[in-house]
Amino acid sequence: MRQLGVYNNDVLAGVLKEEAPGRGYVFAYSPDYLLSKGTPVSVTLPLQSAPYESESLFPFFANLLPEGANRTVICRKFRIDKEDLFGLLSAMSGKDFIGSVNVRAI
């Protein structure tokens, strides 16, 4: 199982997990973040204590990824399959993303 810490304005908001390749994804807010009444990382992922589950990578996280030629270059550089969205997100962890949300390796 692969996982990434999801940060909102440099505060740990939750954890994104890939159960196993092709077996789904889970995003769960951290209890501390929920208690702090931080803002949701996305309007499609409002604050809640129950984890979110999806068969495909949540659109919010998929939209953080580069597209087109940039994706091709990054996938070649890190030897990642273009279809491995979680792998690509992991390779980009710790880098600058647009907006307040960032992902980092755990």
SS3 6: strand
pTM over 0.85: yes
- Provide the 10 A C-beta neighbour count for residue 58: 19
79-85: long-range contacts, CB 8 A cutoff, minimum separation 24: 84/21, 85/57, 85/61
pLDDT (0 to 100) of residue 92: 86
- DSSP 3-state of 89: helix
| pLDDT tens for the 106 residues of the chain, in order | 899 999 999 999 999 999 876 689 999 999 999 999 889 999 999 999 999 999 999 999 999 888 889 889 989 988 998 888 898 999 888 777 788 899 999 8
Give the pLDDT score at 54.
94
Cα 48 from Cα 85, distance rounded (Å): 25
